[in-house]
Each structure stands twice: as C-alpha cells, then as structure tokens.
A = this chain, B = another copy of it.
Amino acid sequence: MFELKKIRSDFPILSKKRNEKSFIYFDNAATTQKPQEVINEVCDFYTHYNSNIERGMYFLADESTKKFNDTRSIVRSFLNAKLNEEIIFTSGCTQSINMVCFGFLNTFIKPGDQILIGKMEHHANLVPWQIASNRLKAKIIPLESSENGVIDMSDFKKKINSKVKFIAIQHISNITGHENNIQEICSIAHQHNAFVLVDGAQAVSHKSVNVHSLNCDFYCFSGHKCFGPTGVGVLYGKKDLLLRMTPLLFGGNMIGRVSFSNSSLGDLPQKLEAGTPNIAGVIGLGAAINYISSLGFNNIKLAEKLLAEKMWSALKAMNNIALSIKAPPQSPVFSFNVKGIHSYDVGTLLDEMNICVRTGSLCAQPAIKELNSTGFVRASLCFYNTEEEIELFVSALKKVIKLL
C-alpha cells in the first residue's frame, strides 16, 4: 500500500525547514527530489567501489562495470525495450535529443524534406531540430495543438505526407500536463515511413512507459526528473536505427581500432557512449527506477490523480485564476495566471511563504505564446505532495492576490 507519511520520509529534503517552517515543493516538473536510496547508492559508489568501467580488470572495476551494466537492464525493463544495447546513457534528455538530431537525421534527410514538431514542445525538443534542419535544408512544420496542449490529430493527419521524414513530440507537456496519443501518432507516422522521437522528460515519473507498444523509434528522458541524479539521461532507440547513427561525441571506450590513418567505431551501446560516462549518475538512476518500481505505477497514478483532482477543483473555484487548460491534466501539472498580475510577482510572494513554483516561459516560449500568455505560474506536483499542501497553496495564493 501507499503510505504517504512513509513515502515522504523516504525523501530527506521534504523535512527541511526554512525560517522554522516546512516548505512546499511544487516544482517537480523542473526536477524531482531524491529518495534516500538514490543518495545512498551514489555515496556507496564513491565510498566503496569507485573506479572507471569497461577497461579495468581488477575487482573494483568489475563491480562498477557490473553495476553500470545492470542499470542498463533496469532501464531496458523500465521502458520495456527489447535489448540492452538499445539503451544509451547520455548526460540528459537534451543530449539524447541532440544525438538524434545531429547523428541520425543527417543519415537520410534530403533538402526539402519535412520535420513535424508540436507547437507545445520544450526548447530542448525544438531548437536542436531548427538548427539541424537549417543545416540540412529541411523544413520544420509546426503541429497545431488542441486546447489542452496536445497535438491536434486532424492537423497532424493533414500535415503528414511523403515529404515528412521525422516527427518530434513530447509524451506529456511540461506546461499543461496533458498527454499526446503517441501510439496513434507513431502508427500514422510509420504508414508514411516517418520516424518518431518522443521526449519523455515529463512522462517517466508519472506513468509506466512501454516503448514496445508505443512503437516509437526513439524515446528519451532525464534522470533528475524521475528521482535520479543530475547529469544522466537515457536515449532509447530501435537497434537498427542506432546502428545507423553517427555518434555526436568521439573518444575513448567507443572505438574499435584506432590509428592515424583511420579509426573504426565499436559496437552498440559503447559506440554512442564516448568517454568516461557519469558512472555514479547511471548507478543512481538504477536506484531511482528501483524505487519507482517499489512504489508501483498503479499507486503513483492513483495518488497523483487525487492530487490533480483536488488542485483542479480548487483552482477552478477561484474566479481570478486563468488556467492554461480546459480539462484536468493527466499528470499533476498546473500552469495558470492570476488575472492582471505578472507571474513573477506571484512567484516572489509564494516564495516568501515557502512555496516553490516555477514562473515565466517554462523553457517553451512558442508554447507560451500559443497559449496566449507571456508567462505562467506553474505548480507541478508529484506523488509525495499532499492534499494539505494543496490547501496551504490555495490560501497562500489568495493572500498573494490580496497583497498585489
């Protein structure tokens, strides 16, 4: 069962006080907090078996190499991928996306080809495509979104054609918390021989992801947004596509033979993991996924649904709040404005009351514009948040409105 008190005690930071009062962390979409297990796993690595991986042949290197590669299996089963070598460790979601942009796109895109990108994408899933398509003389076509920030499927069906070679979309929006219909998008895309990359940064902490049934070609996420360490991320890709990929980085550990006259690349996954990886980060990510599994996504979904419903009705009941969405979100993310008040002022005063929210353009300027805003207040929750925190948040919000 899901015992909130126990779960909160798993996260040491949640008992932190500021000015002798507890605080409310509602910026989980930016980064989640870390359970003690993850912190311990990282410490444990440095304290007991820190060593470089793959090349060493002594006991410490055996242990770290094994732990590192065990995490590959953990991630594979977390995403329900088929093969370990389809899991590439990166420095984060941003690097994962850039790897596909600059290492895969170029292997088949021709001038005049099209890339479809959702209007609600995070800069990380937009800017690299702009740069890459610019270099390759391909064209970026924005996909309209319907009112909750999900891809408008009729627009998508209108825009897909034989010139479209690639589609880049997010699984869940970091602004609206609504989910795209990835399975259908992939199926339509594949009928037109287009590849699909799914930015899962906002999904993996909230729901169970199955790349096999989604049938996406690439999927990526960041460790720090799913209870893991900073500086580590994942790129999943179908094996035959990863094989075709040119690495973004070259260096040690990823090559076959090297000489001054020519060098050959090694096998997957090493080919795409040049240099010493974030070993502690990867191992910590394994602990984070194990932690998620120990809770179970059924429980997580249930808990977060309750939180989302409560937040939704509380905000709906306030008549000077303009929500960015028309229906309750699938994951507990709420971006809104207090009418007539700058998001920045709201955030400043909430901070005085020990409440952490994000304000502004949320790293998605086109999306903000699309939603007719210049910047939101975003409260993004997580299973460890409580109904009481929502109540405190709402009264704090009322106080803010009175002050401003």
Residues of A within 8 A of B (CB): 12-13, 16, 18, 23, 25, 27, 30-31, 33-34, 38-39, 42-43, 46-52, 55-61, 91-95, 97-98, 101, 117, 119, 122-124, 126-128, 130-131, 140, 142, 222, 224, 229-232, 248-253, 255, 257-260, 262-263, 274-281, 344, 347-348, 350-351, 354-360, 363, 365-366, 369
Contacts and interface: CB of A to CB of B under 8 A. Distances in A.
Contact of A58 (B51, B61, B279, B355): B355
Tell which of A34, A60, A222, A347 has the most Cβ of chain B within 10 Å.
A60
Contacts of A258: 123, 126-127, 365-366
B27 A276 contact: no
Contact of A249 (B18, B98, B274, B366): B98
A95 B275 contact: yes
A51 B356 contact: yes
A121 to B, nearest CB: 10
Nearest to A92: B275
A59 B347 CA distance: 11
A12 to B, nearest CB: 5
A97 to B, nearest CB: 7
Contact of A31 (B30, B51, B347): B51
Contacts of A117: 260
B58 A251 contact: no
Contacts of A277: 230-231
B280 A230 contact: yes
A375 to B, nearest CB: 11
Tell which of A123, A230, A360 has the most Cβ of chain B within 10 Å.
A230
B230 A55 contact: no
Given A97-B251, A366-B258, A27 B43 contact: no
B124 A275 contact: yes
B231 A280 contact: yes
Nearest to A34: B46
Tell which of A46, A55, A222, A248 has the most Cβ of chain B within 10 Å.
A46
Tell which of A131, A231, A274 has the most Cβ of chain B within 10 Å.
A231
A127 B250 contact: yes
A250 B39 contact: no
Given A46-B39, A356-B58, A119 B260 contact: yes
A127 B130 CA distance: 28
Contact of A124 (B25, B130, B274): B274
A57 B365 contact: no
Nearest to A356: B58
